[in-house]
Amino acid sequence: MNFGLSEDQTLLQETMRSFLADQVPIERVRDLRTEDCPGDRALWTQLAELGATGILIPEANGGSDLSLLDAVVVSHALGYAVTPSAFLSSSVLAPLALRALPESQSSDWLAGIGTGELVFGVALTELFSVRENAGIRLENGSLSGKSMMAIDLCKADFFIVAINEETLAVVRHDAPGLEVNRLVTTDATRCTSELLLEQVVPEALIENAGPTISRMLQAGRIALSADTHGAAEAMIDQSVAYAQQRKQFGRPIGSFQAVKHMCAEMIADLEPARSLLWYSAHSFDAMPEEAPLMSCHALAHISEISRTIASVATQVHGGIGWTDDQNLHFWFKRIGMNRHLLGGPEALRAEAAELQGLAQAS
């Protein structure tokens, strides 16, 4: 059996890579860094025209209704190009939540994501990592509290907010009593925020949502793994190209054994993880009973090896690798941010141990 991408998925990968190389070069990423929040609605519209934003949207709502593996192909390309976008929140996490609502409530929202007219942010951190004084309460039909490290809220039209492990809420970005404070992190390509709510009336509640929330986290972790893998692959490609061009003692540094070994070891670490990534995405739709464990393994492992690759790639570039002008730090910081966005490797391995009966549930 040849386990790999289909012809359509390979074409999707090539199309995304080509589009992002042309439309979102690193110079544009730098320009977006100077704004209040990274991301560009014009770019989001372009992604929608390519069909990227509606990959998990039902056909009845104008989407493609494809598999998570197709979404992973897009996420990988976005990570490779270190593209600022709301793909993780709007095109992976939000559709899974909205599809749990009645069609009469979700139809316009799903269609809006597919056409690029709407962006959804998500606030899920408290489901797996509770910070001091954080948490959302539902009292008399309104929401109060605080959520930390919420994703893609800055330019979103609606938010998906986790109240507890069984309940989600859909909230308008301009609802009375709502406040969004951007959290400045090392990663200039991703928007993270503090969300404050004071008696905010939600647009909709998704109750008895335990299975939906579990599927959201699984899909989000797998898509985030793809983003990280793509970023690490880009750092390797840049390192190999630099080693072929940079000369010392009259010869390219890539001809030196030490540099050869550094590049070869990075590739040897990353390539086996590609199959892990594909299998994890495939299991989400084809073998959902395996997806909880595979999502933990994929994100934990790829986060760990990519951090090492980011460090070694920077070393291959020598002193210039640590400077702002070199650009490599965009991928370095993206990998570092992704490492903790939906649960760090330590927490994910602990969850995987619980799923396998190797440790007691916390």
Tens digit of each residue's pLDDT (9 = 90 or more) over 324-349 = 888 999 999 999 999 999 999 999 99
- The region that residue 255 occupies, defined by phi over 0 for left and psi between -120 and 50 for alpha, beta otherwise, is alpha
> Rounded mean pLDDT of 275-300?
96
Helix axes 345-355, 291-316, angle to 10 degrees: 150
- DSSP conformation class of 71: H
Instruction: Report, at the CATH architecture level, how domain 211-355 is classified.
Output: Up-down Bundle (1.20)
Looking at the domain 121-209, which fold is it?
A: Butyryl-CoA Dehydrogenase, subunit A; domain 2 (2.40.110)
pTM over 0.85: yes
- Neighbouring-strand partners of residue 194: 181
Stretch 261-268: mean pLDDT: 94
* Alpha helix (H) residue ranges in 317-344: 328-341
Q: What are phi and psi of 10, to 5 degrees?
A: -65, -40
Query: What percent of the chain lies above the pLDDT cut of 90?
Result: 81
Q: Helical H runs in the chain?
A: 7-23, 26-33, 41-49, 68-80, 94-98, 103-115, 210-245, 257-286, 291-316, 328-341, 345-355
Q: What is the pLDDT of residue 248?
A: 84
Mean pLDDT of the chain: 92
The answer, yes or no, to whether residue 5 has pLDDT greater than 90, is no
Q: What is the pLDDT of residues 210-248, one digit of tens each?
A: 999 999 999 999 999 999 999 999 999 999 999 988 878
Which pLDDT value is given to residue 362? 60
Which residue intervals of the chain bear CATH 2.40.110.10?
A: 121-209
Give CATH 1.20.140.10 domain extents, the chain. 211-355
Q: Residue 324: its pLDDT value, please?
A: 84
Residue range(s) in the chain whose domain bears CATH number 1.10.540.10: 7-118
Q: How many CA atoms lie within 13 A of 94 on its CB side?
A: 35
Residue 92 has, within 13 A of its CA and on its CB side, a CA count of 30
- Structure confidence by residue, pLDDT tens digits, 78-117: 999 999 999 999 999 999 999 999 999 999 999 999 999 9
Q: Is it true that domain 7-118 has CATH number 1.10.1740.10?
A: no
Mean pLDDT across the stretch 5-24? 93
